Structures are given as C-alpha cells and as structure tokens.
Structure 1
Amino acid sequence: MKTSDLPILDPLDRITLPTSPGPGRMESLGRKMKRGRRRILGQFGGENSGGQAYHVMSRTAGGEKLFGEVEKEAFRRLMWRMAKFSGLEILTYALMSNHFHILVKVPERAKFLRRFEGEGGEERLLEHLSLLYSKAYVAAVRQELARVRAAEREDEAEAILETFRKRFCDLSCFVKELKERFSRWFNKHHDRRGTLWMERFKSVLVEDGEALRTMALYIDLNPMRASLVEDPKDYRWTGYGEAMGGSKRARRGLCRVMEAPLDSWEQKRGAGTPAEAYRCWLFGAGLEVGKEEIRTTDERASRPFPSSSSSSSRKGFSKEKVEAVLKSGGKLSRADLLRCRVRWFSDGVAIGSKGFVEGVFNGCRSHFGAKRKDGARKVREDAAGSLHALRELRVKPVG
C-alpha cells in the first residue's frame, strides 16, 4: 500500500456527522429517541460481569470483493474509534475483501453510564463526544443546551443528552453507525453511489470460556482459510495480526478471550506467554481436515463450525507445521517478530542503515516537528545493531 493511496486526512475525519447541527436538528433528534426500538445490550452478564460477547458479521452487496488495503485500513481505524465511543470492547476481528467479522464485548449499560453521573457528569459526557465528533459539533451541542435552558426547557436539554446516552453499550447502534459511516467514506472515496452492504448484519451471542475462545480462533483463522496468508500473524487486518504488530488494544482483547490479565500478552505465565499459548491454539484449531474426516466429524456434530459440504477438504495447516509450532511452544524467532513489527510501521516510514534513514529524514525535514534533531532510530530487536528506522517500534516485541 502506497502512502499516496491513502486520503491526505485521516479517513475518520471524513466519516463524521454534520458539524453544524441547528436547533431544529437537535429537537428532532430528541423526539426520535422517544420511539421504541429493540436493542441488544449487555444485560445478560449481571451486575458484576464484564458484559456479554457477540460475534458480528456482515457482507458486501452481492458478495463483491471491494475492499483492498486502503479500505481495510480505513475500516479498521473507524471500527476502533466507534467502539471506544460506544463503550464496547473489541476482542478480535477479521476484515476480508467482501465481509468482516468482529468479536465484541458489550458491557453492562448501567455500569458504563455511571461515569456520566454526579457532579461534572454532563461535562464528561460532552468531552466523550469528542471521541467521534468534531470540535465544531460538540460546541454546537453546548450552544443548543444553553439555548433551551435559557428558555427554561430543561426537558428538551435532557432529551438531547439522552440522544447520546442511548447509543452507548448498544450493539445494534454500533454496527449500524459503523457501516453507515464507512459506506459514506467508501462511496465518496470511489466516486460511487448506492448500497454497499448486502444486509443489516448477523450477530450471535457467545458464552464466555471455551465458546469464546473457539469463536476468536475461527475469526483469526479466516485469512489463512481464504489462502491470503500461510501464517495468521502475517495478515494485518485481524486481531491476532494487529496484536503481533504491537497494538496494545488488540493484545488486551485477546487476553480477555484467554481469561488472562489484560496487559499480560508478553508476560510468562506457566510454560509460556499468552501470545505463545494463543499461537498454539490457532495452529491446533487450524489443522487441515480431509474429505472423509469432515464427513465423519460433521455427522457427529462435534465441531463448532460444521462444514456446509462434505465434498471438499477444509484448508488449514499441515500436520507437520502444527507439530512444529506446538513443539516450539508457540515461540517465534527474532526475525519473525521483527517482520511482524515492521509490517506495522506507518506507510512511508524508512528502514535500513543509519545513513540511509538520515538521508530520508533530511529530504522530508518539513514533515517533522522542529524539536526532532535527527531521523534514525536504532531497531532494538536487531541483534547486529545495524538496522535503523525513521520511527521506533511501538512496544517491546514478544519473546
């Protein structure tokens, strides 16, 4: 993916609602939220639970393969931003050329809303809006609240605030807005019109524990099953691929799946780290299955995702490769770890000798801040010490 292929601005900056809502629009929003609407909330887990998990999937209209690297990257950024605004936790995901999978945790709504209660609660709510909306939009909301309160119409002010509160911890609202906002960006970026998605979306309630782990593995194995990569770590647009690239939020999601402390991805627990254990699980679950084995297994209904047809084999890892990964305990070589990390550099960032990187830095000096004195940053993972990059790796790698 070339830097020139990406929009000059962050794709998310173009996937926003109007930034100048007038009084009429605010009043209309307040009235609309009074209508009854079926919602999928995290009410199943109880007061002390971490909420409920769902597997969400949606496909493009006609199954057309429309998403390349630029589109997947724009969707990924928007997905994380929408999840943070909505109060949801992404556990893992897979973005494919014509569909997406998201495994998401929906927290208990009443517990989430407590952060906006009490003294200063309204101000915290308005600050929270900046996660998704522009400064101009948030300022317009403040002005509208002041206007209706000046007219002693407190019920209208409360209706405006409730418009936003009702969108939190709501899976239906999260997916609907995610797809709508991405559709607007996609159509504008490609100068097209019309429907992008085939259907609303499908969601499955997933129990914690073994079922949740099985679903996460199924999602992270999608690119390998589709013959896009030989190893799940090499596909950038999955939770596992992003975690191996150094993303803390992706690592926390998989730690949640594994019922490990959220920041323990690199920490040794028992025989190995959660990263190594999850890799072993992936390869164990991804073993290639032949025709006869699929037929026998499906008849027994012992697999969580029975094959829709017994006429073909299920693509997966060879027995030898699975045995090699299990024998290594899921550990990756330094070279593989470095390759995972380098893949997650921003596009256009240079890597090479110190002189090469300094030359790139000097040639693009205007793109860096005045405090930046030099360009080359030593890559700590390079044992020889000769490799430098224009930007440091995000965090210390696994291993």
Structure 2
Amino acid sequence: MGRRRHKESDQLAYHHLMSRTVNGEALFGDREREVLRKMIWQVADFSGVRVVTYAVMKNHFHILVEVPPAGTEVSDAELVRRYRKLYPKPTPWNPMPAEVLEGHLKDDFLDGRELRKELTRRMHDVSEFMRTLKLRFTLWFNRSRDRFGPLWSARFKSVLVEGDRWALRTVAAYIDLNAVRAGLVSDPKDYRFCGYAEALGGGRLARAGLSVVDKDLAGYRQTLYGAGGGEKEGKASISHEEAVRVLQEEKGKLPLSVVLRCRVRYFSDGMVLGSEEFVRKTLEDEPDGKRNRRPHSLRGSDWKGLAVGTGLRKRLFQ
C-alpha cells in the first residue's frame, strides 16, 4: 500500500508507517516488543532514516520517519559503519564480514562497485526500511517460537505527512497515544514501548526524533493532553464510548486531545496528510492519473487546517 508515494523526493519526506500481525493476533509480549523496539533503531540507522517517534503494540506497530532527499550521498566509510550496525557478525544468510566489505569498496573493482550499488539502493527508502525490519523480526520471532510461516497480515500502510511542525506533531501524538487508546496506560510516559516514554527516560535518539516536532518535551505534552494540562484538568474526561458517539453519530466536534484518544482513520488511511495546499500538490503529482482527487478537510475537532488525500466516511472514528 502506498507504493506510488514512495517515489524519490528532492527534499526531506515524512511517512507514518504501520503494520499489523496476521488476523490481528496479539502475539507480542514484553520480550517481543522490546526486541522489535531495538530493531527499529538498528534498521533505521542502517537505512539512513530518522525515527521521529514510534509505538510497538501487542499486534501492530507505528513509526513516523524522516527520509533524506533523493541523491543524498553516503561515503564508503559510512556504508561500512551502517553495514556493521546491521550485521555485527556473519550469519548464514549474510556471511560477509564488514572488514571484507570494506576491502571490496576500497579496491573499487567490480565486486566493490556492485556491493556499493546494492547497499546504496537500500538507503533512504521507506519500502526497503520496512522490508528489512519486518523480515528480520519475523526470522527472530519464528526461531524463538519454533514457528514458521508469515507473521504480518500485509505489506504495510503508509501516509505521507507534510514536513510542517503542526502536522508532524499531530501525527506523532496520535502514535504515542496508542497505548492510552488500548487501555494499557493512562499516560504515554508509562508505556515503555513508545518514543515519548523513551525520550522522557533519557533516550538520546528518541529525544532527537521528537525534537523534530517540538524542541521542548513539555510543549509536546501539551499536544498529548491539551494546552497546559493533563487529564487531571478534565482535558480528556469524556468516555471513549461517548466521544465516538459524538464524533461518529452526531458528526460533532471535540477537543483535539479527546479525539486523539480515539482511533482515527485519517492517520492510517488518509494517503497524505498536511495543509490543503500540500495535499493538493501531492495529488497532482500522482502518476496514476486520478486527477479528480482533492483535499478533504479533517472533521471532528479543530485540526488547524489539516487535510487528507481521500474522503473517509465509514467508521472514521472508533
């Protein structure tokens, strides 16, 4: 899904990426979620993408990533460093040590040029990032469970997000609030498998990622809970059932901090999310010829001008 929108760009691109287990089975306990969390950082480093934030759940995961512009050069020394990060020691499916790769690249004969081309192809690409991440985790999971067969229900979902701080902050908050929506915690800081909690715990990479959406974690928390407060101030006191009824049945509006505690299909099925101008331009550049598509304003709250690339009506809020 979303293959067309992964075309090369001459500027930074942001993607909300999602994948779910087969049949949505809750297969991941604490150990599995911790392994997947670590693999996200490991594969992101290899792929040359920045993780803005993430959430690993019992049957799915979300990642918001920043992808460098097309044509971003990677030196041979950096290729070797990234390769060593992903393959710290030889494996049956990748027996070449990093030192051998380094020698091939230095010699610059045919083998070195082919290796450089293949590794570079895997850089700065969300499809390659997700393919590598999901394949590596599947191999680990199946070995640890004496299991075989597919683990994931589909390729993955992707929503292109405008590189505007408000659009990114809203998507990031939606991701970090996953565990709250699932009823696992009342505050995302208490869920160890999300970017916000890792950042508060002192994680250097997690803090650097969230700095993309807000330089101050306290400011970002205002997006999670509403300006200046938390649930104790009544910002999200309405029940989930009542919120969905108001949003879905009455077509009403609620504070953003309340809406973000519902499942909102804009973030998973909206194709592209950002200002109307950004969405319109992105749709015009689509190669599939569907020129009749237009931006659709988000409803249910004050989204400050955000729009998506497809009209969503059925079960928009859950």
TM-score (norm 1): 0.56
Q: 2:172 & 2:81 partners in 1: Cα distance?
A: 33
1:131 aligns with 2:85: yes
8 A Cα contact 2:24 2:59, kept in partner:
yes
Equivalences for 1:31-180 in 2 at 5 Å?
Answer: 40=6, 43=9, 45=11, 51-111=12-72, 113=73, 115-116=74-75, 122-136=76-90, 137-142=97-102, 154-180=109-135
Cα distance, 1:124–1:218 mapped onto 2, change above 3 Å: closer
Q: 1:225 & 1:44 partners in 2: Cα distance?
A: 36
**Aligned residue for 2:295?**
none
Equivalences for 1:381-396 in 2 at 5 Å?
Answer: none
Any stretches of 5+ residues in structure 2 without a counterpart?
Answer: 91-96, 228-234, 254-297
1:282 aligns with 2:224: yes
Q: What is the identity, as a one-letter code, of the residue corresponding to 1:229?
A: V
Given the alignment, which residue of 147, 166, 183 partners 2:138?
183
8 A Cα contact 1:41 1:171, kept in partner:
no
Cα distance, 1:307–1:65 mapped onto 2, change above 3 Å: farther
Q: What is the identity, as a one-letter code, of the residue corresponding to 1:224?
A: V
Q: What is the identity, as a one-letter code, of the residue corresponding to 1:108?
A: P
Could you tell me how far 1:124 is from its partner in structure 2? 4.0
Cα distance, 1:308–1:73 mapped onto 2, change above 3 Å: farther
Q: What is the identity, as a one-letter code, of the residue corresponding to 2:13?
A: Q
Deviates more, 1:156-165 or 1:298-307: 298-307
Could you tell me how far 1:293 is from its partner in structure 2? 2.3
Cα distance, 1:279–1:42 mapped onto 2, change above 3 Å: farther
Q: 1:160 & 1:39 partners in 2: Cα distance?
A: 27
Could you tell me how far 1:64 is from its partner in structure 2? 0.5
Cα distance, 1:42–1:214 mapped onto 2, change above 3 Å: farther
String of CA shifts for 1:67-114, please: whole Å, max 9, x gaps: 000000000111101101111000111100000000011111323x1x
String of CA shifts for 1:140-179, please: whole Å, max 9, x gaps: 4346568xx6xxx934431121110111101100000000
Could you tell me how far 1:132 is from its partner in structure 2? 1.1
Cα distance, 1:280–1:181 mapped onto 2, change above 3 Å: same
**Aligned residue for 2:299?**
301
SS at match of 1:253: helix
The higher relative CO (CA closer than 8 Å, separation ≥ 6) is in 2
Cα distance, 1:247–1:308 mapped onto 2, change above 3 Å: farther
Q: What is the identity, as a one-letter code, of the residue corresponding to 1:293?
A: V
SS at match of 1:53: strand
8 A Cα contact 2:45 2:82, kept in partner:
no
SS at match of 1:229: coil
Could you tell me how far 1:39 is from its partner in structure 2? 8.4
8 A Cα contact 2:10 2:70, kept in partner:
no
8 A Cα contact 2:168 2:213, kept in partner:
yes
**Which is greater in Rg?**
1
Q: 2:175 & 2:125 partners in 1: Cα distance?
A: 22
Q: Sequence identity of aligned pairs in percent?
A: 41
Equivalences for 1:9-24 in 2 at 5 Å?
Answer: none
Any stretches of 5+ residues in structure 1 without a counterpart?
Answer: 1-36, 46-50, 117-121, 261-273, 315-399
SS at match of 1:249: helix
Q: 1:282 & 1:206 partners in 2: Cα distance?
A: 18
1:238 aligns with 2:180: no
Q: 1:167 & 1:230 partners in 2: Cα distance?
A: 39
**Aligned residue for 1:344?**
none
8 A Cα contact 2:104 2:111, kept in partner:
no
SS at match of 2:61: strand
Q: 2:61 & 2:193 partners in 1: Cα distance?
A: 10
8 A Cα contact 2:166 2:213, kept in partner:
no
String of CA shifts for 1:232-290, please: whole Å, max 9, x gaps: 110000111111111121111111112x3xxxxxxxxxxxxx12221121012973462
Q: What is the identity, as a one-letter code, of the residue corresponding to 1:217?
A: A
Q: 2:40 & 2:180 partners in 1: Cα distance?
A: 22
TM-score (norm 2): 0.69
8 A Cα contact 1:91 1:105, kept in partner:
yes
Q: 1:141 & 1:86 partners in 2: Cα distance?
A: 17
Equivalences for 1:259-274 in 2 at 5 Å?
Answer: 260=215, 274=216
String of CA shifts for 1:175-198, please: whole Å, max 9, x gaps: 000000000000011111111000
Number of matched pairs: 245
